[in-house]
Structure 1
Amino acid sequence: MSIHGPTANSFISQRLRLHYVDWGNPEAPPLILQHGGRDHCRSWDWVAEELAKDWHVIAPDLRGHGDSAWAPDGNYEMNMFVYDFAQLVHTLGHDQVTIVAHSLGGNVSTRFSGLYPEKVRKLVNIEGLGPSPKVRAEREAKGYATRFRKWIEDKRKASARIPRRYDTIEAAFARMKEENGFLTDEQARHLTIHGASRNEDGTWSWKFDPYLNVWPFDEVPEDRTNELWSAITCPILFLYGADSWASNPETDDRAMVFQDYKVSEFENAGHWLHHDQFDRFMHEVRAFL
């Protein structure tokens, strides 16, 4: 697959300069590809290249990711990401958008779709509903103060942590392969080249902010997320990898809240099923859109 590069752009949200790429075809209907945690917008390149023929594809980098600015105070709470996403849609000036989103990006754009149901035409959510009811219950059982203290401790550690340095881009590539065994060499190399940057001493580090390793301790109460989810009016396609750690919303009952949805599970695929089963992914997404 040859990749024809998109154009780099930026917008301002809460004083941060956030990066996005534009795949051209501005006369076509707008489609936003939103990546997940510790990822970057160029991980969509294969998907974008296929969809750019029929859509005006925009792929943003979340705050603290890719070529977007890091939050000076290390604030990566969900509300911040949702605001940034709303600001992107507002900046682009579209009445309605179609969204394909992964993991953290799926969580962000699903909340946006509940806040502004009239603004979303269709939503593809790839493993992006956050922790399962079981995981949430386990976390909450530890108690609020315990979780709060651990968060403070972890934040403190992250503030002292220097991003890991790899002597060569090959070493970073090897780490990428280790993280996801389903990736082909070509995919892993592309994701590494766009996901790492060179340090002053010639070593390489991942672009994302180390503070992103510390997840907010206080989750939005279930009744509030349910309120947002049940307000979504557009059709939603949920995609899950059979070999992923993520919990399928049809089996854990979270899907019941949504008005118009379909869940599809992918064999031989993990959390990044759009990389692991690219052809099947494109076929399902095209049919749905």
Structure 2
Amino acid sequence: MSGTTGTAAVPHGRRPSVRTLRMHSFTSEFKRLTTLASAAGIDPADVVLPAEGVVRADDGVRLHYLEWPGPATEPLLLFLHGGGLHAHSFDAVGLLLRRLGRCVALDLRGHGESDWAGPGGYGTDAIAADLDTVTARFGARRVVLVGHSMGGMAALVWAARRPAVLAGLVVVDVGPDIDAAAGRSVNELISRRPLFADLDEADAFLSGVLPRTREAATSGVAQNLTWTDDGLLTWKHDTTQFQPSMGRIASPDELRRAAARITCPTLVLRGERSRVFGDEGAAELAALIPGARWERVPDAGHTIQTSNPRGLADAVTRFLRDQDDEGAE
């Protein structure tokens, strides 16, 4: 990534800390996961690192995913993160739910360890097409899709096509009606490509833009950093993907029309502290989808999976049990 320009000056000749150099080591990753687990009330003995794999999309883009080991194979619980994030944002949720189904989190194209795409290769339609590929490659017969933010928009588009394997949909803090100012703030953040001398500098930057320290501490910032050719750190995700020429995100009216076509059981969640998605937006989306309902997740911001992973996992668990109970009647 030579030629990358940053938004802040980096001290010349500053050497990265040992913590920074080891941020992707097994020891560091396991320590991070153990810390996340402790915050979510998970037994340390139950902490396992997720396996990793790659699926190739129809256009050749390699899609990276994480999978948490567990005894259950169905349903496939497929997690989609929001713009500028990564599959590791679901680490604690995957640990909490791994015995209820096959838990897989996808790095959306242009994010995490997945390939970047070219002009026109991004957007909600592209992600929806990737879902066809991933579910087919996994041989899934029953899928429960959990989509956050941009991943939630793509989930709505895909669910509207009524894929036979889709058994349930959980939409996380997004819908046709989001707060415009908060949405612009998120887009501005994920479209920037700052440069950092070390992990401490990246932590400080993220703590300054996230609404609460806890969300900065549990965001998995190291998992979203990569080295530039100049020996600095920057975000892994392709910041150009959010430009109009790179792909199109479904409009609010398109999302409303998509929602009205969804027939699978659906749960809409919003973070209690979210500035992006409010009660009215959640109620509107739930009203558009036949039989859907919405819930407010306590002590959670926009990124519910990191701010309150236990709350998200509990909501998904209740949703799955409701489906099982209805199926038994």
Q: What's the TM-score once normalised by structure 2's chain length?
A: 0.71
CA distance in 1, matches of 2:219, 2:92: 10
Deviation (angstroms), 1:98: 0.9
Q: Which residue of 1 aligns with 2:199?
A: 169
CA distance in 1, matches of 2:143, 2:106: 14
**Alpha carbons of structure 1 residues 86 and 248: separation in structure 2 relative to 1, 3 Å:** farther
Deviation (angstroms), 1:68: 0.5
Q: Which residue of 1 aligns with 2:228?
A: 199
Q: Which residue of 1 aligns with 2:327?
A: none
Deviation (angstroms), 1:248: 3.4
3-state DSSP of counterpart to 1:288: helix
Which of the residues 87, 97, 105 maps onto 1:41? 87
Whether 1:90 aligns to 2:121 is no
Identity level (%): 25
**Alpha carbons of structure 1 residues 176 and 10: separation in structure 2 relative to 1, 3 Å:** same
Given that 1:38 and 1:212 are in contact with CA atoms closer than 8 Å, whether structure 2 keeps it comes out as: no
CA distance in 1, matches of 2:93, 2:105: 11
3-state DSSP of counterpart to 2:70: coil
Which of the residues 160, 163, 171 maps onto 1:114? 160
Given that 2:123 and 2:249 are in contact with CA atoms closer than 8 Å, whether structure 1 keeps it comes out as: no
**Alpha carbons of structure 1 residues 266 and 21: separation in structure 2 relative to 1, 3 Å:** closer
Given that 2:67 and 2:105 are in contact with CA atoms closer than 8 Å, whether structure 1 keeps it comes out as: yes
Given that 2:81 and 2:107 are in contact with CA atoms closer than 8 Å, whether structure 1 keeps it comes out as: yes
Q: Which residue of 2 aligns with 1:144?
A: none
Q: Which residue of 1 aligns with 2:269?
A: 239
Deviation (angstroms), 1:6: 1.1
Given that 2:283 and 2:294 are in contact with CA atoms closer than 8 Å, whether structure 1 keeps it comes out as: no
Q: Note the residue ranges of structure 2 that are not aligned, 5 or more in a row.
A: 1-36, 38-43, 321-329
Deviation (angstroms), 1:266: 3.2
Within-5 A mapping of 1:1-289: 1=37, 3-13=47-57, 14-25=59-70, 27-29=72-74, 30-73=76-119, 75-132=121-178, 135=180, 163-184=193-214, 188=217, 191-214=220-243, 220=250, 224-244=254-274, 245-249=276-280, 253-289=284-320
Deviation (angstroms), 1:190: 5.9
Given that 1:249 and 1:255 are in contact with CA atoms closer than 8 Å, whether structure 2 keeps it comes out as: no
Aligned pair count reads 265
Higher relative contact order (CA 8 A, sep 6+): 2
Q: Note the residue ranges of structure 1 that are not aligned, 5 or more in a row.
A: 140-153
Deviation (angstroms), 1:250: 5.2
**Alpha carbons of structure 1 residues 83 and 26: separation in structure 2 relative to 1, 3 Å:** farther
Given that 2:269 and 2:282 are in contact with CA atoms closer than 8 Å, whether structure 1 keeps it comes out as: no
Q: Which residue of 1 aligns with 2:18?
A: none
3-state DSSP of counterpart to 1:45: helix
Q: Alpha-carbon deviations, 1:92-148, whole Å to 9, x = none?
A: 12122011221111111121111124321111111132454x859xx9xxxxxxxxx
CA distance in 1, matches of 2:64, 2:269: 26
CA distance in 1, matches of 2:150, 2:251: 17
Q: In angstroms, what is the RMSD of aligned CA positions?
A: 2.9
3-state DSSP of counterpart to 1:270: coil
Q: Alpha-carbon deviations, 1:199-247, whole Å to 9, x = none?
A: 2333111100011343579664666434432222221111112332224
**Alpha carbons of structure 1 residues 184 and 93: separation in structure 2 relative to 1, 3 Å:** same
**Alpha carbons of structure 1 residues 204 and 284: separation in structure 2 relative to 1, 3 Å:** same
Q: Which residue of 2 aligns with 1:143?
A: none
Given that 2:260 and 2:289 are in contact with CA atoms closer than 8 Å, whether structure 1 keeps it comes out as: yes
Given that 1:182 and 1:269 are in contact with CA atoms closer than 8 Å, whether structure 2 keeps it comes out as: no
Q: What residue identity is the alignment partner of 1:262? A: R
CA distance in 2, matches of 1:238, 1:251: 6
CA distance in 1, matches of 2:213, 2:113: 23
**Alpha carbons of structure 1 residues 255 and 215: separation in structure 2 relative to 1, 3 Å:** farther
Given that 2:96 and 2:310 are in contact with CA atoms closer than 8 Å, whether structure 1 keeps it comes out as: no
